[in-house]
Each structure stands twice: as structure tokens, then as C-alpha cells.
């Protein structure tokens, strides 16, 4: 058995949404480092230049597309275009997401719709478009959704976000069961506490940082490279008999509560 070959993504074609910064950028770089050609999307295509450079530096093909995942037609057209340009699509990483903290009594319809449309609705229609390409090509593939600790636990003032991420967990289970017949695996990762542009507001509070570190058995926050192994594993043949599961990447947080 050639174990290293199981993790090799050479020749695979991937698409990562929300790849202009943070976890999405790190995931795109990890896939390229493992050998995949990678299409990357974000609402502003100019913001993808750094991510494209990371992929280029790994010696892989990089394509960049502007995409707001709330636009269902755009999800389909962009993923179809990427699949055509890459000559196939083997991997989709549903990373695009949005979070805003607000007391539940103050949540309005606009905030609810914005969060759920990006985190859940957008993820579904990107998955659907990717799966249609995979089925048409007859190649199967791997879809990895970015869930959250809020897929498992309740977090005050994050009800729309937690609801969307819990829904994403349910979607992962259901699509895995439905699409296995097509050779498509659907899994997820649940990042713990990573400092990104979206979450930076929390980390500006030193007291919050110390309180959170006390709850994490490894006593540190996640680094971008901590996501690489889990995502490459779920994207590769190393996980070919794994579907419908979520891997928490959280330093032991969930195990300790």
C-alpha cells in the first residue's frame, strides 16, 4: 500500500469559494501544494490575487472568478465555467461564509437572510452545480463544507450564524446519503477558533482571548496551516470510504465540554 499516494491530488481539479483571504486562501494553497489545479472565487475578483499567487507558486494552474454565492444562477455559471476551463471538477470546498454578532432580540430579517443565504443557501447551490458536473463527467468527487463549532453548540448572539451552520451539517449528512450512488462524497470540517478577518473583532478583546484559551485543551488558537491536513484528507483518496462526516479542527475544544 502506497500511503503517500493516497493523499496526492496531482491531476485533480478543485474549486474553493470565499478564497480571497483567511481559511479559504489557506485551503486553496493546501490543495495546490498537494497537486491540484484550483479555481478560486470571491465577491471581488481583485481580492483573489494573493491566493492566485500562492497557487502559481505551487506550480499549479490557478483560475479566479468573481462570485457572490447568494446568486444561484451565478453559482451554476461560474462552476460550469471553471469545470470547463479546468477540464473537469473533482473537488468543491464550500468555504464562503458570513458572520455578524447581534443579540437575538435585535436580529432583523435582512441580517437573517444575509447570513443564511451565504452560509447555507449558497453552499447548497454550489454543491448542486458541482455535483451536476461530476455526475455528467462520471468521475465522482469530493465536496467539503465548512461547518463550525456552532454546528454543535449554542453560542449566544450568534443565532443566525449557528442556525446556518447547523443546517449545513444536516445538508452534509443528507447529500452524502443521496450522492454516494454517483461516487460523490460529502463531508465537512468544523474550524475551532481561528483568527481571520471575519472573526478579528473578537480577538481585539484580550479578556475574551484569555477566556477562550482556557477552554481549548491545546491552549492555542488555530493557525491557517492547521486546516491543511483535514481538507487534503477529505479531498483525497485517503478518505475514499468516508462520507457524511464532519471533522472538528479545534484543538480539543468540543472534546472537553
pLDDT tens string 113-148 = 999 999 999 999 999 999 999 999 999 999 999 999
Q: Is the full-model pTM beyond 0.85?
A: yes
In this structure, are residues 160 and 111 in contact, taking their beta carbons and an 8 Å threshold? yes
Find the DSSP H helices in 58-158. 72-86, 109-116, 122-137
Instruction: Give me the number of domains the chain comprises.
Output: 1
Indicate which residue of 98, 152, 161, 253 is catalytic: 161
* Residue 161 is among the residues annotated as catalytic for this protein: yes
pLDDT on residue 52: 96
pLDDT at 231: 98
- C-beta separation of 60 from 37 below 8 A: yes
Place of cell 481549548: 216
Percent share of the chain, pLDDT over 90:
92
- Give the model's pLDDT for residue 97: 96
Work out the pLDDT band at 178, boundaries 50, 70, 90. very high
Residue 200 pLDDT exceeds 90:
no
pLDDT band at 245 (very low <50, low <70, confident <90, very high): very high
Q: Which residue has the higher pLDDT, 84 or 200?
A: 84
Residues 6+ apart with CB under 8 A from 197: 21, 22
Residue 149 has pLDDT above 80, yes or no: yes
DSSP 189-224: EEE-SB--TTTHHHHT-HHHHHHHHTTSTT-SPBPG
**CATH (domain of 245):** 3.40.50.720
Res 199 pLDDT > 90: no
Cell for 103? 443579540
pLDDT of residue 155: 93
The whole-number pLDDT of residue 4 equals 87
CB 250 within 8 A of CB 188: no
Range of 35's domain? 3-256
- Mean pLDDT across 12-40: 97
pLDDT at site 1: 81
Amino acid at each position: 500500500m502506497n500511503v503517500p499516494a493516497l493523499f496526492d491530488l496531482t491531476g485533480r481539479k478543485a474549486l474553493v469559494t470565499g478564497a480571497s483571504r483567511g481559511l479559504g486562501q489557506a485551503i486553496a494553497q493546501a490543495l495546490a501544494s498537494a497537486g491540484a489545479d484550483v479555481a478560486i472565487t470571491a465577491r471581488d475578483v481583485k481580492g483573489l490575487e494573493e491566493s492566485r499567487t500562492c497557487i502559481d507558486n505551487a506550480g499549479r494552474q490557478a483560475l479566479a472568478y468573481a462570485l457572490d454565492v447568494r446568486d444561484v444562477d451565478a453559482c451554476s455559471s461560474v462552476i460550469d465555467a471553471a469545470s470547463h476551463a479546468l477540464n473537469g471538477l473533482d473537488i468543491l470546498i464550500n468555504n464562503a461564509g458570513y458572520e455578524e454578532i447581534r443579540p437575538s432580540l435585535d436580529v432583523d430579517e435582512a441580517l437573517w437572510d444575509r447570513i443564511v443565504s451565504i452560509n447555507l443557501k449558497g453552499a447548497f447551490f454550489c454543491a448542486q452545480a458541482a455535483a451536476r458536473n461530476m455526475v455528467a463527467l462520471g468521475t465522482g468527487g469530493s465536496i467539503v463544507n465548512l461547518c463550525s463549532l456552532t454546528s454543535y453548540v449554542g453560542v449566544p448572539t450568534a443565532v443566525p450564524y449557528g442556525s446556518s451552520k447547523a443546517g449545513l451539517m444536516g445538508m452534509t449528512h443528507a447529500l452524502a446519503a443521496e450522492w454516494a450512488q454517483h461516487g460523490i462524497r460529502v463531508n465537512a470540517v468544523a474550524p475551532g477558533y481561528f483568527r481571520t478577518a471575519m472573526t478579528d473583532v473578537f480577538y481585539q478583546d484580550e479578556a475574551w482571548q484569555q477566556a477562550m484559551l482556557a477552554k481549548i485543551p491545546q491552549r492555542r488558537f488555530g493557525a491557517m496551516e492547521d486546516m491543511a491536513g483535514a481538507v487534503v484528507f477529505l479531498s483525497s483518496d485517503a478518505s475514499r470510504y468516508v462520507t457524511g462526516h464532519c471533522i472538528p479542527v479545534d484543538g480539543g475544544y468540543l472534546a472537553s465540554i
